[in-house]
Each structure stands twice: as structure tokens, then as C-alpha cells.
Amino acid sequence: MSEQSPELKQFCDNLAEQLFGRRPSLTECVSCGSTKVAPTDFRDDISRKEFTISKMCQACQDSVFEDLRDDLYDHSSDEPDEKAF
Ligand SMILES: [Zn+2]
């Protein structure tokens, strides 16, 4: 039961096609269509592994994870909160 069934793979491909307007491919980024997805285009093994899962290029991974970091630090800022509304 650990293998991805053809039906599930089809479902995921269709979902990506609806979300991004293109089907997942090993030769281009599913998010922006960049072809900079060769192993040398990624910063480290983690990014390369992430590409096999999300099919996103390094730049898109960076922007996604930057957003996540912003969210994390948004609520635990070290700076004094002196916003006056
Ligand atoms: Zn991209």
C-alpha cells in the first residue's frame, strides 16, 4: 500500500494542471515554468529533494519558504512594537 497508485498520480497531475496551468514535469518548474531545474540549479540536497516533491525551481522554493518565515517571525518580533494606530 506504500506505492502511489496510477489513479492518485493522475489526480495529482490534474490538480497541478488546474492550479498552475501546466502538468508537473521533471524538466520545468510547475509554478513559474522555469527550466532551471537541473541538479546544479539547486542550492543543496534539501532543495533538490523538495523539487522531486513540489516540482518547484529554486527561486520559487525560496519565495515560498520566505513567506513561511515571514509568517513565523511576524508574531515573535524582537523589535519593540511601537506602532501607533
Ligand atoms: Zn519556479
Q: pLDDT for 23-76, tens place per residue?
A: 777 899 999 999 999 999 999 999 999 999 889 999 999 999 888 878 877 665
In a domain, 79, yes or no: no
Q: 40 is written with which cell numbers?
A: 546544479
CA torsion through residues 55, 58, 59, 60, sign = positive
In a domain, 1, yes or no: no
Q: State the virtual CA torsion across 1, 47, 78, 70 in degrees, nearest 10.
A: -80
Average pLDDT over residues 4-28: 84
Q: pTM score, two decimals?
A: 0.61
Number of domains in the chain: 1
Confidence of residue 81 (pLDDT cuts 50, 70, 90): low
More confident residue, 35 or 20: 35
CA torsion through residues 53, 59, 65, 67, sign = negative
In a domain, 28, yes or no: yes
Angle at 4 between CA 46 and CA 52, to 5 degrees: 20
Q: What distance in angstroms lies between residue 21's CA and the mean position of ligand 1's atoms? A: 13
Q: What distance in angstroms lies between residue 15's CA and the mean position of ligand 1's atoms? A: 17
Please determine, for residue 1, whether its predicted confidence score (pLDDT) is greater than 60.
no
Q: What distance in angstroms lies between residue 27's CA and the mean position of ligand 1's atoms? A: 11
Confidence of residue 22 (pLDDT cuts 50, 70, 90): confident
Q: What is the span of the domain harbouring residue 15?
A: 7-73
In a domain, 83, yes or no: no
